[in-house]
Amino acid sequence: MSFTLDPQVAEALAPIVAAMAGSTPPPVGDVAARRVAVEGLIGHADTARPTPDDVKTTDHHLTTADGATILLRWYTKLGAEPGPAAVFFHGGGMILGNVGLFDGTVSRYVSASGTPILSVDYRRAPEHPHPTPVEDAYAGLVWLHEHAAELGVDPARIGVFGDSAGGGLAAAVSILARDRNGPAIAKQILVMPMLDDRTLTPDPEIAPFVLWSWDDNATGWQALLGEAAGGPDTPAYAAPARVADPSGLPPAYIEVGQLDIFRDEDLTYALRLGQAGVPVEFHLHPGVPHEFDGLAFTTDIARRVIADRVRALASL
């Protein structure tokens, strides 16, 4: 068995790989070091491309059930017709990131698709372990439904959208909404989602290529779940791969790279959804690792995956 990077992606990532050569990754559990390193990469990727000038942002604030206040940022394309919308949850392994770090990314999705997006600044672990992040995410969905009329949104055409940990939150919110008989979700758009707290054993075949490692993953899940991470009692609202019965969940768009440590859990989730009668569009992209598109955005494969996500948003 032999895996290789997509040649264009390899060329785009070469300066980053060279800069990281010889550095020692932080140990499992070091959240602070990961926040510094990964948020720096996210910020670089977000600002490396121009932010569209046809997207307007408006900040709202939501008071949660436990009395906290979280930011909701509403992105709309100027001149767009009323209709669908999506609730977005950013990536970051459940431990890092914020709405502002993804301003450019979300604006580009809105500009290209015409679909407005509500980005939820959910609270992160370990300061806020499960269930706080998913409850914040769910509260954002409820808020958009409650304010749909004033925002010009059709409540029957609201989707959830997230990448990496945010993709896991979008999947978890879909389960939560089903189980609570909560707001309708038209589609779940899951971009390389983080779904399973049991993904902790390195795969030597793809280890040379990963951008989010198994140590990173263990750090994120332990921050969210503590000693329960990887054990028998993890709830599906934290790790959607644990859902006992996927039937009745919203139609799903799911994608992942073949060199991503989430590959197998995402493949399995797509299969289980499909077997349960949930409509699924699934893409396995060869030769690419986790979050490659943000750093190798000029490549042909990055353009294709962005076009697919825009199509999924526009189809709501």
**Residues labelled as active-site residues:** 164, 260, 290
Structure tokens that stand for 9 in this block: 């992606």
Rounded to 5 degrees, φ, ψ at 37 are: -70, -50
**Total residue length of the chain:** 316
Neighbours of 86 (CB within 10 A): 31
- The continuous run of DSSP H or E covering 69 comes out as strand 69-77
Among the listed residues 249, 293, 234, 233, the one whose alpha carbon sits nearest the alpha carbon of residue 49 = 293
* Angstrom distance (rounded) from CA 68 to CA 136: 10
Structure tokens that stand for 70 in this block: 């979280």
Exposure of 126 by Cβ count < 10 A (0-12 exposed, 13-18 middle, 19+ buried)? middle
* Angstrom distance (rounded) from CA 137 to CA 291: 21
